Chains A and B, each alone.
Chain A
Amino acid sequence: ESVLTQSPGTLSLSPGERATLSCRASESVNSAYLAWYQQKPGQAPRLLIYGTSTRATGIPDRFSGSGFGTEFTLTISRLEPEDFAVYYCQRYGSSPRYTFGQGTKLEIK
């Protein structure tokens, strides 16, 4: 089973700063099938990035994704107050078809 490990577990930053979130896979992931989600308390996850680097509809351009193989990154260039949330990476593959990372909590410093 392919495992996704996100780091750090918690990231404390201030509005206006740059956030870099990591997602490492135990097996190589097809870049077309790596996605990122944002989840706020009491809400469903929201798709941010799919295909490693394509922003979903309505997602601001301060969010960007990159990576290849087993190392993927979500970058938020300048944090806005509404960006503080939990972020999950997700990969599509086989057995199981989808797995998620354990999440990175982005909190206000």
Chain B
Amino acid sequence: EAGVAQSPRYKIIEKRQSVAFWCNPISGHATLYWYQQILGQGPKLLIQFQNNGVVDDSQLPKDRFSAERLKGVDSTLKIQPAKLEDSAVYLCASSFPKAVYEQYFGPGTRLTVT
């Protein structure tokens, strides 16, 4: 069974530039999560989708971050404009709707903002 796919794996940009990350969840997983993991900290939930609807985006900095999940499958997370403090690993995870306890994580995208 294929796991959660993310791309790119690494990205370096300058502050004030924009960047986008892509995630393809495990087939059949209706719930998709984006986490931000700053070095030395645990992952922090940014946004959670159920199919293509947002369940929780309370910790998403909406002035610069946006996410979408068209057609309820792939998802894109965008940052515009980026700040130095956005340097982190961005993790995507997915699960069945009634199995929030069983989240499967992708390898992450490491973003460096200079």
Do the two chains bind? no
Q: Which residues of B contact A (CB under 8 A)?
A: none
Q: Give the B-binding residues of A (Cβ under 8 A).
A: none
